[in-house]
Structure 1
Amino acid sequence: MKYLIFLSLMINALFAEGYSSMPDVAPVKNDLYIKECGSCHFPYQPGLLPSNAWNKMMSNLENHFNTDASLDDETFKTLSKYLNDNSAEKNMQYKRSNRIVSSLNPNQIPDSISTTPYMVKKHREIRKDLITQKEVKGLFNCIACHTTADKGIYSERDIKIPNFGRWEDD
């Protein structure tokens, strides 16, 4: 019994210090995806969008957010499969994937992660100037504020907004 109490106190102390180790979304574990997509931007976890959104995005790589991100056929097929196999609706055991899918209307296909109803709601209290400052650039730059985003952890305890500090959600 003493061991359980001690363990419980240690876990609570770690979380109070901002430590979190359980991913909210499945971490990226595909080297080709990291190389190809991560060479231009943060390699977003596939579980942050449903497959229909990834398919829409992949079908327009020649105009990928005003950049030509075209891929050779083999790479395109490999990355499309990875995104579809690991999309939000196939990762509902992860909190963020589940909430993203649940926030969408039937047949809704978001254009980006930051435009999903869930993400809009999660960021609504943050002042626009904090999001648009040069160190952040926009909601698309997850890693600028979410210090553990690369591990699939988007806990509020791990948010540090540049030129503002740690985020405290009241």
Structure 2
Amino acid sequence: MKLTTPFSRTALALLALSLSLACQADDHEGRSRVVWPKAYVQECAACHVAYAPRLLPAASWARLMGGLDRHYGTDASLDPQDLQQLSRWLQDNADRRQSAAPPEDRITRSARFERKHRQIEPATWRLPSVRSAANCMACHTRADQGQYSEHALRMPDGLSARQRAAWGD
């Protein structure tokens, strides 16, 4: 098909732009649509939410998987086959944009986490309904699916009137 009129070229450009924007918008959640290995969900979600692999760079996942016998004070060892499979999957789906690992390989200490949560008061993390910054499910209703969209947030119980008023900011 030959596009010679300015209108048809403009229409094609707008279509390409809208498809590009749709892909970018979907990318925020799209990477979380990666199929998660059953062993990852079973093993990791037994103690905490199974974090989306894109929340850490590959180097952090390598260190975490290499030290499961002392995983933040707990022995989270896996059988060698699961360890190899899950390590490979985490590496393949890790954050490629984040070059520096966060301190202690903690998602909650990453630059992205701190930027996204900078307005959260420290007292909020200590609420009984939240317990810690690592409890993503307290606010992100689909964190267990690797989705952290601001469109699927829930206000945790126990916020003060001032905190509730600031929620929408």
Q: Same fold (TM over 0.5)?
A: yes
Counterpart among 105, 116, 119 of residue 125 in structure 1: 119
Partner of residue 168, structure 1: 167
Q: How far apart are 1:158 and its partner, in Å? A: 2.0
Partner of residue 75, structure 1: 82
Q: Is the 8 A contact 2:44 2:50 kept in 1?
A: yes
Q: How far apart are 1:159 and its partner, in Å? A: 1.8
Distance 1:109 1:81 in 2: 18
Q: How far apart are 1:125 and its partner, in Å? A: 0.5
Partner of residue 153, structure 1: 147
Distance 1:167 1:26 in 2: 28
Partner of residue 62, structure 1: 69
- Tell me which of the two structures has the higher relative contact order, counting C-alpha pairs closer than 8 angstroms and 6 or more residues apart: 1
Q: Is the 8 A contact 1:145 1:161 kept in 2?
A: yes
Per-residue CA deviations over 1:28-65 (Å, capped at 9, x if unaligned) read: 52111101111111011111111101001111111111
Q: Is the 8 A contact 2:56 2:101 kept in 1?
A: no
Q: Is the 8 A contact 1:47 1:87 kept in 2?
A: yes
Per-residue CA deviations over 1:114-157 (Å, capped at 9, x if unaligned) read: 11011011111011111121221111111111112233332223
Amino acid across the alignment from 2:76: A
Question: TM-score scaled by structure 2?
Answer: 0.71
Higher fraction of helix: 2
Distance 2:78 2:135 in 1: 23
Distance 1:123 1:37 in 2: 24
Question: Aligned-pair RMSD on alpha carbons?
Answer: 2.2
Q: How far apart are 1:84 and its partner, in Å? A: 0.6
2:101 counterpart of 1:109: yes
Per-residue CA deviations over 1:48-106 (Å, capped at 9, x if unaligned) read: 111101001111111111111111211111110111111111xxxxxxxx5xx2xx5xx
Larger radius of gyration: 2
5+ unaligned residues in a row in structure 2: which ranges?
1-25
Amino acid across the alignment from 1:131: W
Amino acid across the alignment from 2:123: D
Amino acid across the alignment from 2:32: A
Secondary structure of residue in 2 paired with 1:26: helix
Distance 1:120 1:39 in 2: 26
Partner of residue 6, structure 1: none
> What is the aligned length?
135
Distance 2:130 2:166 in 1: 14
Secondary structure of residue in 1 paired with 2:32: coil
